[in-house]
Every structure is written in structure tokens, then in C-alpha cells.
């Protein structure tokens, strides 16, 4: 639970813009990311990462700030060519683990923005 002095002090639109600018720098060059504020939760973001090449997967994540520094990352969906795929395969799980690491790295790089 967030204590009052460790609350997220940035509005969700500015936070989404900061993520949109930072995330491409921590991802593979060929991957694409789209970051949007979560309309239901002001301390959460929706992130879609699209892989390049023949695989053409889309990974949807929800990133929720637990406090001004820590982010909880949840996989929402994985799609390929507009259809859902089995998220339990080793290939998908390895990609998910990799992207979760990148999302945490992005959050770390934004500490100066989120932690005042």
C-alpha cells in the first residue's frame, strides 16, 4: 500500500508520455512500444509491445505503480496476427520474462520523474 509521502506525484498522461519516450531505448531496436494511460486507474499504464520480424507478436501489459518507485507488471494478452496465442509456450514465456525485465528497467530509469 502506498504511504502518503510515497505516492505517485505525476499525472497519468505525463507518465505515459515519459514511458513512451523512454521504453524504446530499453527494448530491442526492432521492437515497437505503445504506452497509454489506463483510463480506470490513474497509477497504471497500458503497454503494447510489438515484435518485429516473422513472429509479429503483440504483447499487452498493465503496469501499475505500487508506490512512486515500484511497478507491478502483469501480462494481459498475447496476440499474433490479430488472434490470441497460447501464452504458456517456452518461446512466449521467455519473451514475456524479457519484456517484464525491460518494463522494470524503464520504470527504474524514470525514478527521477516518478519519485519526488
Domain spans, the chain: 4-114
**Residue 114 CB: number of other CB atoms within 10 A?**
22
Does this model's pTM top 0.85? My answer is yes
Which one is the CATH code of 4-114: 1.10.1220, 3.30.565, 3.40.50, 3.30.530? 3.30.530
* Separation of alpha carbons 69 and 6, rounded Å: 8
Q: Would you place residue 73 in the very low, low, confident or very high pLDDT band (cuts 50, 70, 90)?
A: very high
Average pLDDT taken over every residue of the chain:
90
- Over residues 13-70, the pLDDT tens digits come to 999 999 999 999 999 999 999 999 999 999 999 999 999 777 789 999 999 999 888 8
Amino acid at each position: 500500500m502506498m504511504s502518503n509521502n510515497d505516492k505517485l506525484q505525476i499525472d497519468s498522461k505525463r507518465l505515459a508520455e515519459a514511458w513512451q519516450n523512454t521504453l524504446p531505448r530499453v527494448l530491442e531496436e526492432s521492437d515497437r512500444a505503445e504506452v497509454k494511460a489506463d483510463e480506470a486507474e490513474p497509477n497504471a499504464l497500458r503497454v503494447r509491445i510489438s515484435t518485429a520480424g516473422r513472429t509479429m507478436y503483440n504483447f499487452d501489459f498493465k503496469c501499475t505503480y505500487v508506490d512512486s518507485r515500484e511497478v507491478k507488471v502483469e501480462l494481459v494478452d498475447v496476440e499474433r496476427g490479430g488472434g490470441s496465442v497460447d501464452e504458456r509456450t517456452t518461446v512466449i514465456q521467455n519473451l514475456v520474462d524479457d519484456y517484464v525485465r525491460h518494463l522494470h528497467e524503464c520504470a527504474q530509469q524514470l525514478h527521477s520523474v516518478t519519485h519526488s
